[in-house]
Amino acid sequence: MITRESGDAAGAEASGNGVPLTPAYAKKEQAAIASNAQEPLTYCLPAGPIGAVEHGLVHQYLFTPGLITIIMEDGEIRRIFTDGRGHLPLAQLQSRYMGDSIAHWEGDMLVVDTVGFPNGSLFQAGGLTATINTHLVERIFKNKKGQLEIDNVVTDPAIFTKPWKFTRTFQPASIELGEPGCRTNLRDTGDSIDLTPPEGS
């Protein structure tokens, strides 16, 4: 079991500190932040491959022949195919949150290539999502500290002026993967919350 230990350059708060946004997208992001736009996860919608692990979601990797499945605490499931297939045509991925992920091994490093996740959130705040042309490459490996390390490179000509690179590391967690509770514990309503105690308490 592993838990996130540190990361850098991820999240809207970091976008002004190294995320190479195009002027148009930086303006869009500022407008979203100014309007206090919410991200998909606020409404129990999937966050996507970048946004999901940024939200404190416990997630579990399952290895089966030709397929790696990542189960996330909020009920999202990400499938990464390792059977040698290519990407599906983007036309078939119009409403994806997780996109189409294929991967191969380079020694003990898993290299994951993902395209077509136009509904997947890119940053923690602001409600900004990927486009149909966003391309994510993750290099996942066990570092010298025994942690899971993921080196990410994201490209999209509409969003970034150059590849956006950042690293996330994870370490063992002491809790089990919980049941999805978003729908039953959706007390957040944008800028307010429901304080009502549980029924029967």
Partner 1 sequence: MNPKNLLAAALLSAGTAQAHHSAVMFDHSQCVVISGTVRAFLFEYPHSWLWLTVPDSQGGSSTWAFEFPAPAGLVMSDPTHWKPGALPKGMKVTAYAAPMRDGRQGGLMNSVVLPNGYRMHAAPDSVTCEEKYYGAHPGDEVLKKIGAQ
Question: How many helices and strands in the chain, by DSSP H and E?
Answer: 2, 11
By CB under 8 A, is residue 119 in contact with partner 1?
no
Residue from the set 21, 58, 102, 128 that interacts with partner 1 by CB under 8 A:
58
State in Å, rounded, how far the first CA of the chain is from the last one: 33
Q: Which of residues 55 and 79 has its CB atom nearest to partner 1 in the complex? A: 55
Q: Which residues of 69-86 are buried (b: 16+ CB within 10 A; e: fewer)?
A: ebbbbbebebebbbeeee
CA dist., res. 149 & res. 189, Å (int): 34
Using CB under 8 A as the criterion, what x/- string covers residues 27-46 for binding partner 1? ---------x-xx-xx----
Residue 60 in contact with residue 180, Cβ under 8 Å? no
Shortest spacing between CB 157 and partner 1, in angstroms: 28
Tokens of 178: 């919980």
Residue from the set 28, 30, 61, 139 that interacts with partner 1 by CB under 8 A:
61
Residues that bind partner 1 (CB under 8 A): 1-4, 7, 11, 36, 38-39, 41-42, 52-63, 68, 73-74, 105, 108, 110, 124, 140-142, 148, 170, 172-182, 185-188, 190-193, 195-198, 201
